[in-house]
Amino acid sequence: MNISAVLLAGGESRRMGRDKATLLFRGKPLWQIQLELLRKLAPAEIFVSTRTDPVWRPADLQFVADDSPSRGPLSGLAASLAATRTKHLLALAIDMPFVTEEYLKFLCSRIEPGRGVIPKIDDRFEPLAAIYPKEALANFQSALSGKDFSMQTVAARLATDGKLRVVPVTSEERKLFVNLNEPADLAAL
């Protein structure tokens, strides 16, 4: 598949109280679960976007530091888009272990030149399980130079500009987007 992929793991995990990347879920750390999922897609390159190079990063993955000062996933996506050698970048958050290979392949089937794809649940985009075209880099850089660092705002602008195709998430697919933010989220599973 001629796309790049980025595993977004740059959050501070304040609500979880510890690094989410190393949390065990079904016997494996989240970083390993998500990385195995991305590898199944056989992207041209895989990045790990975090604030600092993590000790768990496999040597064959490229580390991409958030642009300073870090503005959350906005910074990680901007840095990853700038580093990618392909025309599209698949972004996947470290804390969304229910996303499936089939769903990511479905998203990949919806991209076209200069246009990525983003899932949307009701009125909220799912920007951390989306595919961005290289042309989106200018939008990310513009947002970073402004005062609104909301991924929702950037996603809406990209959709309006025709750089993202919006894919409504079905009621059955909603479970794929559950993320693990707090210890109670893990306990509930």
pLDDT at 19: 66
Give the domain range for residue 136.
4-187
Amino acid 153: pLDDT = 95
Q: What does the pLDDT look like over 24-55, one tens digit per residue? A: 888 899 999 999 999 999 999 999 998 888 88
Q: Are strands 4-8 and 88-93 parallel, antiparallel or unpaired?
A: parallel
Q: How much is the pLDDT for 16?
A: 44
Predicted local confidence at residue 55, as pLDDT: 87
Indicate whether 93 pLDDT > 70.
yes
Owner of token pair 């929702």? 152
Q: What is the CA radius of gyration of the chain?
A: 15
CATH (domain of 146):
3.90.550.10
pLDDT digits (tens, 9 = 90+) for 110-165: 999 999 999 999 999 999 999 999 999 999 999 988 888 889 999 999 999 999 99
Residue 50: exposure state from Cβ atoms within 10 A (0-12, 13-18, ≥19): buried
pLDDT band at residue 68 using 50, 70 and 90 as cut-offs: low
> How many domains would you assign to the chain?
1
Query: Do 141 and 93 touch, CB atoms closer than 8 A?
Result: no
Which class for 185: exposed (0-12), middle (13-18), buried (19 or more C-beta within 10 A)?
middle
